[in-house]
Each structure stands twice: as C-alpha cells, then as structure tokens.
Amino acid sequence: MFSEPRLTSLAHGGGCGCKLAPSVLRDLLAEQPLAQAFPQLLVGNESSDDAAVWQVDDRTCVIATADFFMPMVDDPRDFGRIAATNAISDIYAMGGRPIMALAILGMPIDKLSVPTVRAILAGGAEICAEAGIPVAGGHSIDAPEPIYGLAVIGLAAPEDIRRNGAAQAGDKLILTKGLGVGIYSAAIKKGVLPSGGYEEMIATTTLLNRIGGELSRDPAVHAITDVTGFGILGHGLEMAKGAGLGLRLEMGALPVLAHAEALAEGGLATGASTRNWASYGGDVVLPEGLPDWRLKLLTDPQTSGGLLVAVAPEAAEATLARIRAAGYDRASLAGEVTEGPVRVEVV
C-alpha cells in the first residue's frame, strides 16, 4: 500500500526561506555580464529589482519573472496557491498587470501520488484564475524534493513601471501585509502553531498583491517592492541602495501576524533568518538593547509577503486608506526615506 509522506518532510527548506542568502547570491552573480547593451531592457540584472522589464514601444512594456520554492505547508492545494500568489506578486510590485503564467514543476514521483501533484497544480491554477490569467504551459522534471512555482509575464505602460530604487527623500513607507510568515512556517513544522494561525497564514500568503498595479498609476507613489525571502530589512536595504538614500523603520509600527511575536519570543525562527542577518547586518542600525527575538521578526523570510511602498508624504494617509479599503487590513505606515547614509535604521 502506498504511504505518502508529509510534503514538508520531503524538503530541506520551505517557501521563500529556500532562497539563497543575499551574500551568496551576490557572489554567484559577481562575474555575470550585465545586459546594458540592450537599450529596450529598462530593468535587468544590474539592480535588485523584482522582475525584468523590456520596453516594446512608447506605450507598452513587458514584465517577466520566475519564482518557485519547496513546500512550507503540507496541504498540496495550499502549497500551489501560495507559490502562485508569490510568483505573480513580482509583476504587481513592478506596477504591472499579469497576462499569463507558465508552471515550473519538480516532483519526487516515487514519493508523491498523482492526486497530490494534481492538487498542487490545481491550487496554482486557482490563483491564476483569480488574477485573471491562464497557466499557458510549463515544464516538469523528476526531482528529489517537491518544487513548484511560475514564470509570469505582465504588461505595463512605461510611465507606470515602479522600480524599488526610485524612492525619494521624505517619502513615507507603507507595508501592506503582516510580518512573521517564516516564523509561522517553523511553527507548523514543529506542530506548535496556535489555533487559527494556519488560517491566518493562508489568508495572507494567498492574498494577491494586485494593489501594486493600481498604485503604480499614482504619481505620488515613487517606488514599490515586495517583501519576500530576505525579510523587511533585506528588501528595505535593496530599496535604500537602489535610491542611494536611507530607510528608517519604526519597530512598533511594523504590522505583524497575530502570534508571530509570541512565537519569536519563544525561540522560533528559520535558518534563513540567521543567514539573512549575516548577509546584510553591517548595513543596518538597530536600537540599543533590541531583543534577539525582535531581530528575528525583522529578518524573517516572508513567503508571498506584502508590498513596501514609498509614497510622497502629503499622499501617505490617503494611500494607506486606499490600500486598506482594497482588503489589506494590516497595512501600516512603517517608516520613512531619509537623506542618508545608505542603510536601514530601526527605531
């Protein structure tokens, strides 16, 4: 009789916690040629942006991204839904509208049943349908660990593209989703996630970041990035370095999932959190005496996390209200962009 293991037991990591540490990624890409010889390539590998952008003509840009990972939950449909939401987010973060996706699938076919793999694919297709796009094809391999994600194509007008490095000094920062997804994932693996926690995590990780495509049409919104595997500090630092400015985050203003602080204070964290801090801690200033568990929240890898939005100060409150009205209940004013130095400061 076929005995099927838990999805998470087949993976050495899960969700965006699988991402290579920022320092490792820098080393791997250090000698890769830049794509600056192509004038139509508005966004390529010269920066740490969320997706590539190719300008077709005066009115149209194509946005392309790929994102995949190993399971952070055991329910196959939920795994597919989370992975698809996370992949599509890159299009929204660039200010675009997704138009189609291709599935990326690697499965240990000797360990997982056909219905389980079908459920993963169905979950991804469900989210794509919610985003109004087809899964138009893809590629699959037999792999030792389960892997699923999407390559996604989107469109935007050139003036609506929002790079993560276009923030301006004085901008206010809005974070649209609560932090703590990685901590929740660690709690799932240990069987200690409190009642209601799983439903809360699924709700946030399957909430499409489509508000990014709407905000990009507002000239008061200067920069957008999605907060994923490098945590709020890592992706905030990418925004700071791209703009050549500083970011100041207010610890008490950052939105957090309901049980994340208690779980972190109890010692739960992911290995990716430690790797993240080792990669970029030298560019971060923390308050004196900040407890280690609070640092774990700041470096926690966010799978299908929220958007970090830099908006002109006079438009910040109205933009926040607009985001909350669109269904992002935890969205908060979380800090501001400063003249420098180029770093992230937590107060």
pLDDT at 340: 80
Is 89 among the annotated ligand-binding positions? no
306 is in an annotated binding site: no
* pLDDT for the residue 47: 80
Confidence label for 5 from pLDDT (cuts 50, 70 and 90):
confident
Sign of CA dihedral 324, 328, 329, 333: negative
**Cα distance between residue 67 and residue 57, in whole Å:** 27
What is the value of pTM for the model shown? 0.93
Q: Is the dihedral of CA 286, 168, 44, 59 positive or negative?
A: positive
Residue 138 is labelled as binding a ligand: yes
Beta strand segments in 207-286, E: 221-226, 246-249, 284-285
Exposure of 84 in the CB half-sphere (CA atoms within 13 A): 29
User: Are residues 247 and 337 in contact, defined by beta-carbon separation less than 8 angstroms?
Assistant: yes
Judged against a pLDDT cut of 90, whether residue 22 lies above it is answered with no
Count other Cβ atoms within 10 Å, centred on residue 100: 15
The string of pLDDT tens digits covering residues 45-69 is 888 888 999 999 999 999 999 999 9
Secondary structure class of 205 (helix, strand, coil): helix
Q: Same topology for domains 7-15+36-159 and 163-346, yes or no? A: no
Is it the case that residue 1 has pLDDT exceeding 50?
no
Whether the pLDDT of residue 17 is over 70: the answer is no
- CA distance linking residue 47 with residue 45, whole number of Å: 5
User: Is-catalytic flag, 18?
Assistant: no
Q: How far is CA 155 from CA 73, 76, 96, in A?
A: 31, 30, 5
Decide if 87 contacts 66 (C-beta within 8 A): yes
**Catalytic residue, candidates 16, 18, 61, 128:** 16
128-150: average pLDDT: 97
Sign of CA dihedral 332, 338, 340, 342: positive
Identify the pLDDT of residue 189. 87
Who wins on pLDDT, 13 or 256? Answer: 256
- Average pLDDT value for the chain: 93
- Count of Cβ atoms closer than 10 Å to residue 232 Cβ: 27
274-310 per-position pLDDT tens digit: 999 999 999 999 999 999 999 999 999 999 999 999 9
Residue 247 has pLDDT above 80, yes or no: yes
Q: Which CATH class is domain 163-346?
A: alpha beta
Q: What are phi and psi of 41, to 5 degrees?
A: -80, 95
Strands 332-338 and 246-249: antiparallel
Superfamily of domain 7-15+36-159: PurM-like, N-terminal domain (3.30.1330.10)
Question: Could you tell me the residue ranges of all domains in the chain?
Answer: 7-15+36-159, 163-346
In three-state secondary structure terms, 230 is coil
| pLDDT tens-place string over residues 226-241 | 999 999 999 999 999 9
- 16-20, 142-146, 231-235 — which is least confidently predicted? 16-20
* Residue 335 near residue 248, CB atoms below 8 Å: yes
Place of tokens 């899960």: 14
**pLDDT exceeding 70 applies to what percent of the chain?**
94
